[in-house]
């Protein structure tokens, strides 16, 4: 645990609000400064591209990234040559023939992400960002200031603008940060980021007794839209409806991380009186799918090349689920080429009434997780942050045996220190309270009968 996190955890609420605001100021400068505006304008202009223009754009971006990776990234130099691919052949690789190149697994990224997968010609001011997402495999992603600005320019245009909102509008967020550190804390269950006009609500304290305080925070800071985890937002909206609380009318709910169902959309409409917008991306920032105003999910071809493949690494037909492999176009410091990100989607052959000639996704699948229930009734689905920054953890799985018993299965790369065990226990208990936790270090974590890996399992139902 870092010094800043320790100070935050032991500070009063007013000081935590100041610390969140200070972080928000730094974060805003990092994402929305520099080259953000020019890339935001360019992203908007490209939405008028025809299919042929998008193909030409992707071809140029792909070849530029492949040559850059071969020339400056030791991992790809070795990987391509081992596959019999010379530098001169990369000029002939197209989105249709990229299958000639080797894939990159999450385990390979975990092993090489801070070493051989880094370019020797990096942009300044890079920082590593940790995530294990829905796969339970912790990874480190290097993002420079300029990379963050390129990425958030796309995100602002394709996610927020499409939803009729923006980064300057007051918003609420339910995400993975432990902004209320103690599982048994008293209200308020939110902190305020002044510079970004963001109310950050705790994902770990939502229950029937606390819902009124969440609504109070919405009104206090005049939020106009909600973002964040789909399930956490759903749990909150359900409590608001059941207790007939006076929620504000919102412009949009923008969800992420978990599967958005029709039932969730309907509940958000009933509670907040607005449309819900789905989407998909990740800390890897190598692919982006977002929902337009007409209700279609579109791939952003300028974020990266997305392949949807079967188990034999062959493209799947329209209407059939396949695994997502991404080749990012934006991150020159840590290129990800044919990277199996761990999610599944179904492509559609339909066009959209919005008029944009950007590929349409029928459904984002493979993101459902079991719900973990606390002793006070709180419900949670996201536990990936428990393992962030723990480099000896290759894979993990959280299993709820009962209300009082949690088992954590771990696949380790070496010996897991007592300090790391204590940190994982502290993080779990900060979400669920005083529960018993058993660690089980194993060689492998078995897949589900459908062949999929599941990061969170509940045995309560």
Give the pLDDT confidence of 3-61 residue by residue, as tens digits: 688 899 999 999 999 999 999 999 999 999 999 999 999 999 999 999 999 999 999 99
Using an 8 Å Cβ cutoff, are 64 and 87 in contact?
no
| Eight-class DSSP state of 98 | G
Instruction: Classify strands 225-229 and 275-277 as parallel, antiparallel or unpaired.
Output: unpaired
- pLDDT per position as a tens digit, 345-382: 999 999 999 999 999 999 998 655 677 888 777 877 66
CA-closest candidate to residue 186, choices 204, 207, 208, 210: 210
3-state secondary structure of 293: coil
Distance, CA of 293 to CA of 159 (rounded, Å): 10
Distance, CA of 361 to CA of 296 (rounded, Å): 7
- Does position 289 have pLDDT exceeding 90, yes or no? yes
CA-closest candidate to residue 155, choices 46, 298, 43: 43
What mean pLDDT is predicted for residues 305-321?
96
- Which one is the CATH code of 372-458: 3.40.250.10, 3.30.300.30, 3.30.1110.20, 3.40.50.970? 3.30.300.30
CA-closest candidate to residue 455, choices 130, 131, 114, 109: 131
Residue carrying the six token digits 């607005």: 274
| Eight-class DSSP state of 315 | B
Provide the whole-model pTM: 0.86
Partners of 436 in beta bridges: 405
- Tell me the CA distances in angstroms from 319 to 55, 292, 297, 308, 315, one per residue in order: 22, 20, 14, 11, 12
Q: Which CATH class is domain 36-157+281-365?
A: alpha beta
- Tell me the CA distances in angstroms from 215 to 18, 171, 212, 288, one per residue in order: 22, 13, 5, 31
The reported pLDDT for the residue numbered 460 is 81
Domain boundaries, the chain: 3-32+170-250, 36-157+281-365, 372-458
Of 187 and 133, the structure prediction assigns the larger pLDDT to 187
Of 302 and 229, the structure prediction assigns the larger pLDDT to 302
The reported pLDDT for the residue numbered 97 is 97
Cα-to-chain-centroid distance, residue 202: 17
- pLDDT per position as a tens digit, 238-288: 999 999 999 999 999 999 877 888 989 999 999 999 999 999 999 999 999
Average pLDDT along the chain: 92
| Sheet with 275-277: strands ordered across | 190-193, 198-202, 171-175, 225-229, 252-256, 275-277
For the record, the structure tokens of 409 come out as: 């299965």
Residue 114 has phi, psi (to 5 degrees) of -105, 10
- pLDDT per position as a tens digit, 155-193: 999 999 999 999 999 999 998 888 998 888 999 999 999
- Does position 337 have pLDDT exceeding 90, yes or no? yes
The reported pLDDT for the residue numbered 135 is 56
Q: Is residue 177 classed exposed, middle or buried when 0-12, 13-18 and 19+ CB atoms within 10 A define those classes? A: middle
Residue 412 has phi, psi (to 5 degrees) of -110, 155
For the record, the structure tokens of 87 come out as: 């530098």
Please state which of the ranges 57-66, 93-102, 132-141 shows the lowest mean pLDDT: 132-141
Rg of the chain, C-alpha, whole Å: 22
Distance, CA of 171 to CA of 225 (rounded, Å): 5
For the record, the structure tokens of 383 come out as: 């536990």
For the record, the structure tokens of 353 come out as: 């009434």
Rank 313-322, 400-409, 449-458 by mean pLDDT and report only the highest.
313-322
Instruction: Classify strands 139-143 and 321-328 as parallel, antiparallel or unpaired.
Output: unpaired
- Does position 311 have pLDDT exceeding 80, yes or no? yes
Distance, CA of 360 to CA of 291 (rounded, Å): 10
Using an 8 Å Cβ cutoff, are 255 and 276 in contact?
yes
Distance, CA of 32 to CA of 145 (rounded, Å): 9
Using an 8 Å Cβ cutoff, are 420 and 441 in contact?
no
What mean pLDDT is predicted for residues 64-69?
98
- Does position 132 have pLDDT exceeding 70, yes or no? no
């Amino acid at each position: 645990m870092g010094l800043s996190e320790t100070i935050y955890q032991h500070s009063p609420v007013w000081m935590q609000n100041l610390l969140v605001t200070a972080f928000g100021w730094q974060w805003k400068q990092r994402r929305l400064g520099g080259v953000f505006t020019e890339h935001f304008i360019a992203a908007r202009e490209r939405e008028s591209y025809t299919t042929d223009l998008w193909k030409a754009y992707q071809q140029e971006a792909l070849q530029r990234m492949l040559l850059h990776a071969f020339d400056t990234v030791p991992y790809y130099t070795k990987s391509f040559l081992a596959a019999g691919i010379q530098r001169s052949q990369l000029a002939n690789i197209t989105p249709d023939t990229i299958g000639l190149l080797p894939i990159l697994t999450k385990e390979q990224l975990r092993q090489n992400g801070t070493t051989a997968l880094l370019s020797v010609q990096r942009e300044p001011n890079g920082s590593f960002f940790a995530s294990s997402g829905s796969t339970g495999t912790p990874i480190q992603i290097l993002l420079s200031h300029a990379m963050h600005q390129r990425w958030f320019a796309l995100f602002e245009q394709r996610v927020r603008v499409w939803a009729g909102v923006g980064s300057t509008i007051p918003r609420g967020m339910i995400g993975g940060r432990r902004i209320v550190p103690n599982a048994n804390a008293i209200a308020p269950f939110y902190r305020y980021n002044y510079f970004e006009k963001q109310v950050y609500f705790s994902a770990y304290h939502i229950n029937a007794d606390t819902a009124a305080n969440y609504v109070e925070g919405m009104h206090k800071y005049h939020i106009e839209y909600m973002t964040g985890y789909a399930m956490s937002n759903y749990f909150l909206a359900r409590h608001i409806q059941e207790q007939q609380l006076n929620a504000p009318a919102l412009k949009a709910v923008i969800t992420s991380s978990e599967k958005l169902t029709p039932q969730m959309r309907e509940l958000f409409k009933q509670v907040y009186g607005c449309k819900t917008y789905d989407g998909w991306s990740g800390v890897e920032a190598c692919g982006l799918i977002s929902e337009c105003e007409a209700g279609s999910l579109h791939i952003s071809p300028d974020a990266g090349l997305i392949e949807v493949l079967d188990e034999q690494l062959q493209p799947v037909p329209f209407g059939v689920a396949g695994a997502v492999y991404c080749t990012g176009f934006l991150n020159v410091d840590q290129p990800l080429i044919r990277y199996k990100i761990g999610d599944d989607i179904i492509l559609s052959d339909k066009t959209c009434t919005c008029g944009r000639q950007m590929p349409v996704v029928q459904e984002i699948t493979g993101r459902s997780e079991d719900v973990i229930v606390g002793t006070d009734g709180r419900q949670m689905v996201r536990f990936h942050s428990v393992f962030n920054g723990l480099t000896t953890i290759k894979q993990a799985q959280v299993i709820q045996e009962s209300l009082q018993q949690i088992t954590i299965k771990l696949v380790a790369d070496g010996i897991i220190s007592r300090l790391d065990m204590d940190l994982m226990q502290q993080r779990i208990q900060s979400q669920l309270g005083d529960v018993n936790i058993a660690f089980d270090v194993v060689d492998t974590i078995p897949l589900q009968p459908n062949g999929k890996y599941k990061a969170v399992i509940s045995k309560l139902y």
